[in-house]
Amino acid sequence: MIFETERLIIRRATTSNIDVELFHSLWNNPTVMRLVGFPEGLNISIDEIRDGIAKHDDTDFDKKLIVQLKSTGELIGECKLGLPADDGISETDVKLKPEYWSRGYGKEVKRGLVDYLFTHTACQGVKGTPNKMNIASRKMQQSVGAVKVDEGTFKAPANSQLPRIDVPYYTYIVYRKDWEKTE
């Protein structure tokens, strides 16, 4: 286990069938993936996912992590803790199964990720880059005190083997100094 929140457990992914199937269901789901530029999902196989997880080292950072309900043990999504880049900024990511959207789980995961990064790294800020159209993800960033600092567009590569679309995004960052004032 990496950390717990009030309702959730965040842990490393394993090569177990249940973990691999969670990623398969998320990454191949057009509803989940369309706002990150893959309108038909990633078209990734169970074996490719299992192989990717098997290559993980023992650190908690820059890996896919499992979001699990404490009450039932059900796997409801995945997230990532990014190591700080040269500029001192870490990046997080959260993806939940659609049936768990609008229940506050995303905000709970984001709060846990930010707290973990500020507690276990020297990062000076934690970044998220939600699609401009993803109001829920923007609210998730704002819920931890992140402020909009930039905007841009992730351009779909012309030579992609998968259907890809451009993704207009905002960059939100919560800075350590601001986080520490509220905690």
Q: In the chain, what are the domain boundaries? A: 3-182
Per-residue pLDDT for 7 more than 90?
yes
DSSP state string for 18-77: HHHHHHHHHHT-HHHHGGGT-TT-----HHHHHHHHHT--S-STTSEEEEEETTT--EEE
pLDDT band at 123 (very low <50, low <70, confident <90, very high): very high
Looking at this protein, which amino acid is placed at residue 132?
K
CA 61 from centre of chain? 12
Mean pLDDT score, 125-147: 97
User: What proportion of the chain, given as a percentage, has pLDDT over 90?
Assistant: 90
pLDDT band at 159 (very low <50, low <70, confident <90, very high): confident
Q: Are 154 and 166 in contact (CB under 8 A)?
A: yes
3-class SS at 95?
strand
Per-residue pLDDT for 25 more than 90?
yes
pTM attached to this predicted model? 0.95
Instruction: Tell me the fold of 3-182.
Output: Aminopeptidase (3.40.630)
Mean pLDDT score, 177-183: 88
pLDDT band at 13 (very low <50, low <70, confident <90, very high): very high
